[in-house]
Structures are given as C-alpha cells and as structure tokens.
Amino acid sequence: MYVIEEMTHDDIDEVNAVELRSFPSAWPVSAYRRELRNRRQSFYVVLREDPGASVLTTTPRRVMVDDDSPTRIPFLPFLRRQGGSQRHPIRGFAGMWVLLDEAHVTTIGVDPAFQGRGLGEFLFAALLDEAMQRQTTWVTLEVRVSNMAAQSLYRKYGFTVQGRRPRYYSDNNEDAYIMWSASMKEPAYRERIETLRRDVLRRLSSQFNLEMAE
C-alpha cells in the first residue's frame, strides 16, 4: 500500500531521482533544501510504498474558518502505518507554497512505473487538504497546455483556466495554463473536495482489499 509523509532533507536525493524519471527536467536538489527550510510558507510531501500500511483513515478534523465556528474538512489522506520507522521507497512527491490566503501548487510527480493508479490524485488531495487546514481561500497552479490528463484532474476538483503563461516550461518552451480553484471557504466546494477525497481513498483501498476507517 502507500503512505504520504512530509518530505525531509533525507528524502531529497530520492525525490530528485523520481523527478528525473518523471519529467524532462528536474529541480536542483538545492531548491528542495531551500523549500524545506521554510515550513511556514511551504508544504512538501512524499508518497511511499509501504507494505505495512493496512487501514485507510478518512476521519475529518475540525478547523476554524472565518466565522470562528468549527467546520468539518477532510483529514489529510494519510494511511495509518503499522510497524517501525523503516523507510520505504518513494513513488511520488508533491509540494506547494502558501502565502497569506493563497496556496500555489509547485509540483506533483509520480514515478512512471506507478502511474495510472490514482496516486497523483492521492497527492493532490493531500495538498488541498493542507491548504484548507491553513485556511487559504484560493489554490492556483500551472499546467502544460498539452497535459490533458492533469487538466482533467484539476477540473474534476473545480479548477478553471484563468490565464496563460507563454513559454513557461524551459525544456521545450511550452505554454502553461494558469488554473485557480473555487473559494475554499465555500461550504459547497469543501463538500465537493470531501466527496472526491473519499472516492480516491475507496479506489485505493479496493486495489489492496483494505478496510476503510470512517
């Protein structure tokens, strides 16, 4: 099974190797070291293949929103882990910046050998959950204009194209679409994300015949 954990400095070299297998170019390792020094404005995670994980947790936590009343939002879609602290192979990674009331998704990658299993969505849901936990209002990202699969995922989560960055990607000078979420403070949108999160957890649990802890 798989578990998402916050990225540490010890993970950077392995993340870089996965990134090089996944994309035409990769961030320098120094960029990840810089990002991880600023935990208040950045959030980076790794996805590990962990045979010891056996239960998917879906319990939501309560956070305070604008009206100071507790609101149910998704719990980070981590897997409960059983056993010791053994480090298992990294199969994916993701990250974002958080500044004031906006979150900016900077990267999501899954090892090519493990793509097509819903793991990219699993990581994306974790970023959205953290964005809500940090009480952001909006989430934004860039995506290649040719990457229809990623665009489809983001639209599924209520993101829309709001602009275009010419020649954004340095490896081939491809343009990027700028996509934005709906307001994270809207109850209907939070409920939409909650429903989608549960769906991806159910799909992952069915692949491994796991129990879901509601």
In the annotation, is 214 catalytic?
A: no
pLDDT at 54: 56
Indicate which residue of 2, 32, 154, 177 is catalytic: 154
pTM of this structure: 0.84
Pairing state between β 138-144 and 102-110: parallel
User: Domain spanning 2-205: which superfamily?
Assistant: Gcn5-related N-acetyltransferase (GNAT) (3.40.630.30)
Q: How far apart are CA 18 and CA 14, in angstroms?
A: 6
| Span 123-151, average pLDDT | 94
Give residue-wise pLDDT tens across range 44-73: 999 988 776 654 544 444 433 444 444 443
Indicate which residue of 49, 142, 169, 174 is catalytic: 142
Q: Is residue 200 predicted with pLDDT exceeding 80?
A: yes
Give residue 26's pLDDT band: very low, low, confident or very high (50, 70, 90).
confident
Among 85, 112, 68, 60, which Cα is nearest to 5's? 85
- Where in the chain are the domains? 2-205
Give residue-wise pLDDT tens across range 79-126: 434 444 467 899 999 999 999 899 999 999 999 999 998 999 999 999
| Span 124-136, average pLDDT | 91
Q: Which two tokens mark 80?
A: 């409960």
Higher pLDDT, 182 or 74: 182
In the annotation, is 5 catalytic?
A: no
Residue environment code for 77-105, b if the CB has 16+ CB neighbours within 10 A, otherwise e: bbbebeeeeeebebbbbbbbbbeeebbbb
The label of the residue with tokens 């974790």 reads 126
